[in-house]
Structure 1
Amino acid sequence: MTGEVILLTGSPGSGKTTVAALVATDAAGPAVHLTTDLYYRAIKTGFVPPYMPGAQKQNEVVVDAIVATATTYARGGYLIVVDGIIGPWFLKPFRVAAEREQLPISYVVLRPDLETTLARAQQRPDTELKDVEAITGLYDAFKELGELERHVIDTSAMDAEQTAAEVRQAVASKQFRLA
């Protein structure tokens, strides 16, 4: 039995990690919370912060590794909740894998308003990105998504549990699936 992949994305401070953990933990069957930060932190030399110029090749390699991992778990029947900054510019490898593996993939963008996002980001541990300019830039990257705008959930007024419930409902509706 093939599993399913949920790409849970948004800017830093949008609640991805907290919500992904809740969705994976409360899944009806076997589930994996796959945080993309671990793939970046695994790079010990030559690391470029992924939001900086010059990180494109590194980011492509990391996305390929994430796609391979998610696909492998899915082949094993797991629900995979991928938690990370996966903008539309990195969806092609996921779409290719979905088609090749006949794998359902949902794309869910958490997008609270900027003020809420920055406030949440400042509450994160010191090891996490807190730079206002970088967070604002990443926030802006998810601001206008064109055809993918229907994949956005405004979580400004929601807590983590409410957001997780909304994500579960969105995925169950199949309206957040990537074609």
Structure 2
Amino acid sequence: MQSKGAIPPHLPESNEQNLVVIEAFLEAAKRYARGGYDVIVDGIVGPWFLEPWKALVREHYEVHYIILRASKEETLKRAVERSKLDRKTNIELVETMWEQFCNLGIYESNVVDTTNYSIQETVSAVQEKIASRAALLS
């Protein structure tokens, strides 16, 4: 087995690595689902990475695509408070990612605005999206 150095996931050259990561956690999620478990996968998955998820739908798995998004100001505040990176780098990354998720076109109705939500309110909003089937991928 050949190993490769990790590439920071926000860099354009990390695309192949990011796809491998998605495929790995999709395989784990499928195994749990086949075992009878409800599975929630939490990660940064933009619409540009939805094809592997749509493939799961074609395999008859139920897949909901829900985006948790706070205002830009709140997102920056939260990120800076928990950052492992220096402040300048963290702000640049968050601003780039926020811009990528600020207008999702056909997926905008899949967004839960968490700006003023507690953790429990966020969980409830996600549960409501799932129960209403409003964010099902097809």
Q: State the TM-score, normalized to the length of structure 2.
A: 0.91
Matches within 5 A, 1:132-151: 132-151=91-110
Match of 2:77 in 1: 119
Question: Which structure has the larger Rg?
Answer: 2
C-alpha distance in 2 between matches for 1:72 and 1:78: 9
Shift in Å, 1:128: 10
8 Å CA contact 2:83–2:90 kept in 1: the answer is no
Letter in 2 for 1:169: E
2:52 equivalent to 1:103? no
Match of 1:3 in 2: none
Letter in 2 for 1:148: Y
Runs of 4+ in structure 1 deviating by more than 2 angstroms, as ranges, are 125-130
C-alpha distance in 1 between matches for 2:65 and 2:56: 14
Match of 2:112 in 1: 153
Residues 135 and 125 of structure 1, relative CA distance in 2, 3 Å threshold: closer
CA offsets, 1:134-169, max 9 Å, x none? 111011111111111110011111111111111111
How well do the aligned residues superpose, as a CA RMSD in angstroms? 1.8
2:7 equivalent to 1:48? yes
Letter in 2 for 1:108: I
- The answer for unaligned runs of 5 or more in structure 2 is none
Residues 109 and 128 of structure 1, relative CA distance in 2, 3 Å threshold: farther
**Identity among equivalent pairs (%):** 36
Pick 1 or 2: higher relative contact order, CA cutoff 8 A, min separation 6.
1
C-alpha distance in 2 between matches for 1:78 and 1:106: 15
Residues 127 and 79 of structure 1, relative CA distance in 2, 3 Å threshold: farther
Which of the two has greater strand per residue? 1
Shift in Å, 1:53: 2.4
Q: State the TM-score, normalized to the length of structure 1.
A: 0.71
Q: Secondary structure at the match of 1:60?
A: helix
Letter in 2 for 1:76: G
Comparing 123-132 with 166-175, greater Cα deviation is found at 123-132
